[in-house]
Amino acid sequence: MKSHLIFIGAPGSGKGTQANKFVADRNFKHISTGDLLRSEISKMSPLGLEVKKVMDEGKLVSDDLVIRLLQANINLTASQYIFDGYPRNLAQAQTLDKEVLKGAPSLAVYFEINMTKLVERLTNRRTCKNCGAIYNLISKKPKVMGVCDQCGGTDLQQRADDKEDVIKNRLTVFQDTINPVLKYYQDLGRLMKVDAEGSVDEIYNMISSKV
């Protein structure tokens, strides 16, 4: 039976890369709650207007609102989905199962990575201000240092949230909240762990063999 995928991993662990590959190669639908929020607001639907009001007031969108957003935008019988970066805590995992998946088969995939190496990977990430191309000064350098391979732009920037102190704080928060989520899926026999430091194809083939 085909399974939906739930990708869990720290920022920069490679979830997005694998999600894009599954979308391209296996016709999965990629679910990012942030993208759904923006899309619903742009449609000016009743739900979108409700979301916009919350965000305009500077408040966090509630778990209940996110679940309603998911329910309104997915058809589990028509497509296989990848939930990318959601759920983020135990309550969200339980509610996703009960209110959205409702018994549909799913596999949680945890992208394991050494946190010291992850900090190094993220602090060396650079983005071209002109075209958005992403580089890494360790693993994916531009052909000419400081010059974008894609557009020739010379403004390769480090994102504010890729600075070391910010990254370490994000990773601490992530680790504090994710362990109960991993235990939840482990206890249900629905957790797969992959070495996020493997090659893109190795990780893809490993996950693909299970779905």
Annotated catalytic residues are 15, 88, 125, 159, 170
Cα 146 to the center of its chain, rounded Å: 28
Cα 189 to the center of its chain, rounded Å: 22
| 72 close to 47: Cβ distance less than 8 angstroms | yes
DSSP letter string, the chain: ---EEEEEE-TTSSHHHHHHHHHHHH-PEEE-HHHHHHHHHHHT-HHHHHHHHHHHTTPPPPHHHHHHHHHHH--TTT--EEEES---SHHHHHHIIIIIITT--EEEEEEE--HHHHHHHHHTEEEETTT--EEETTTB--SBTTB-TTT----EE--GGGSHHHHHHHHHHHHHHHHHHHHHHHHTT-EEEEETTS-HHHHHHHHHTT-
